Amino acid sequence: MEVKMKPKKIMIVDDEPAIAQTVKFILAAEGYDVSTALSGDECLEKLKKEPTDLVLLDVMMPKMTGWQVFEEIRKKHKDVQVAYLTVIRYSETAKDRMFKDGLADLINKPFDNDDLVNRVEKMLTTPRP
Amino acid sequence: MLASDVMSQDVVSIDPKKDILDALYTLYKTKADILYVLDGRIPLGVVTMRNLVDVIPNLGKKKPENILVEDVMNRSIKSVRPNDNAKELIDDLCERGAYSIPVMSGKEMVGAVNRLTFVKMFSEKCAKAYRVADLMSNTISTKNIYDSIETIRKEIMDYKTRRIVITDRDEVKGVITLSDLLIVLFSETGNLSDLTIEQVMSPGPLTVERDADVADAAKMMIKWKVGGIIVKDKNQRPEGWIRDRDIVHGVQIRLF
């Protein structure tokens, strides 16, 4: 008997609808169940209702920054993995701080589609420390 | 009203031996205005975004991870006792421009009184008391989105401006604050001129109309943890700020 696994759920959070939709399109084509949120506030509201495996989070957003949203997710949804999607190229030292704090990955925009897919797959298959 | 009646025990703090990257990371995550540097419950100093910005030009070959909080903290802190009159506190928050004043019992810090405390008080007790135009500050700095980041840095450093509104053909695109400039300490090159305004600015800032109720603006500040909201004129152009400091001034006039 074939057992179908439920697809992993990913939420894209970006105030630029075009970016959110593009990332959704790329990851949905890989079989993931993808939703979007256009603000940190919307993301946190949705997380209360939708079980989610991974949040891909823009850093510079209106009202609530990605930093704040990450902190809230870390406090209230410990099982949800979070990765930043960002235009800033962070130093290795800065990245280390964020990884130590529980961030799963840091993906630079603009990104290569294959690289994005590979990194998402790695995050979702690697057991959390 | 006493300091103990209005103080908050929710204080964001850091160890003096942590480096300034940890301080910045904590400020980013909590959106706090100030970090108390504590040895147990004994305050040794405070670190604000301004302390960290002052470090940037003097970095030279020194890496930010090698600069400790105790090297940059401001050691001169004015404190109050739990039984001190809150009126004196509010005067300090308004006139001296302090963000937060520690409340001490003996040598130990038992809480702090912040601007946010009085912003909350205003939102609860002063509905319909003032229009934004009554309390707003008419001074506003604007720059174009295509200006150089160096122009912004210079204005913030030289004129002690806290926030600059970024526009594109009169349309508000974002805001750059001290904390946004500090992202350079986290960046790969450590050089501000390698970044663009669009990379650094906070997009989609909060705005209010000049005729709006200040209590509503206060609620927005509390909800989104911001120290200032852009006031727009009838043509949707930015004409000033309503800041936490202006609202504390409103409390000072109305309730004390």
- Residue in B21, B63, B203 nearest the CB of A61: B203
What per-residue confidence (pLDDT) applies to A74?
Answer: 95
More confident residue, A56 or B61: A56
Q: Tell me the β-bridge partners of B143.
A: B166
Residues B188, A94: Cα–Cα separation, whole Å = 9
With CB atoms and an 8 Å threshold, state whether A65 touches B188: no
More confident residue, B71 or A1: B71
**Strand order across the beta sheet in which B42-48 lies:** B13-14, B34-39, B42-48
Structure tokens at B9: 């025990």
Please provide the DSSP assignment of A13-57 as one string. E-S-HHHHHHHHHHHHTTT-EEEEESSHHHHHHHHHHS--SEEEE
Does residue A109 sit in helix, strand or coil? coil
- Residue in B29, B190, B201 nearest the CB of A71: B29
Single out the residue of B249, B238, B162, B176 nearest to residue B207, CA to CA: B238
SS3 content of chain B, % helix, strand, coil (to 5): 40, 30, 30
What per-residue confidence (pLDDT) applies to A116?
Answer: 97
Nearest CA to CA, how far is A101 from chain B (Å)? 10
Does residue A88 sit in helix, strand or coil? coil
The model's pTM is: 0.89
- Residue in B25, B190, B205 nearest the CB of A97: B25
What per-residue confidence (pLDDT) applies to A1?
Answer: 62
Over chain B, what is the mean pLDDT?
91
pLDDT (average), residues B155-169: 86
What's the angle, vertex CA A54, arms to CA A49 and CA B200, rounded to 5? 105
| Helix (H) or strand (E) segment spanning residue B118 | helix B115-125
What per-residue confidence (pLDDT) applies to A53?
Answer: 97
Q: Flag the least confident range among B53-62, B144-153, B164-173, B185-194.
A: B53-62
With CB atoms and an 8 Å threshold, state whether A101 touches B202: no
ipTM: 0.86
pLDDT (average), residues B85-114: 90
No. of helices (H) and no. of strands (E), chain B: 12, 12
Binned at pLDDT 50, 70 and 90, residue B88 comes out as confident
- DSSP state at residue B74: B
Res. B142: pLDDT tops 90: yes
pLDDT (average), residues B21-36: 93
- Dihedral over Cα of B146, B148, B149, B152: its sign: negative
Along the 129 residues of chain A, how does pLDDT read in single tens digits? 666 678 999 999 999 999 999 999 999 999 999 999 999 999 999 999 999 999 999 999 999 999 999 999 999 999 999 999 999 999 999 999 999 999 999 999 999 999 999 999 999 998 766
Residues B141, B149: Cα–Cα separation, whole Å = 14
| Residue B108 · residue B42 · CB < 8 Å | yes
Residues A83, B83: Cα–Cα separation, whole Å = 47
Nearest CA to CA, how far is B22 from chain A (Å)? 8
Give the best residue of B14, B20, B28 to mutate against chain A (max A CB count within 10 A): B28
Give the best residue of A92, A96, A97 to mutate against chain B (max B CB count within 10 A): A97
The pLDDT > 70 percentage for chain B reads 98
| Residue A86 · residue A106 · CB < 8 Å | yes
Over chain A, what is the mean pLDDT?
94
Q: Quick count: other Cβ atoms within 10 Å of Cβ A13?
A: 29
What per-residue confidence (pLDDT) applies to B98?
Answer: 85
Distances (CA, A) of B34 to A18, A85, B154, B179: 36, 27, 23, 12
Please provide the DSSP assignment of B140-159 as one string. --EEETTS-HHHHHHHHHHS
What per-residue confidence (pLDDT) applies to A41?
Answer: 96
What's the angle, vertex CA A58, arms to CA B23 and CA B192, rounded to 5? 55
With CB atoms and an 8 Å threshold, state whether A90 touches B203: no
With CB atoms and an 8 Å threshold, state whether B203 touches A67: no
- Residue in B28, B187, B205 nearest the CB of A67: B28
Nearest CA to CA, how far is A6 from chain B (Å)? 33
| Residue B255 · residue B125 · CB < 8 Å | yes
Nearest CA to CA, how far is B132 from chain A (Å)? 20
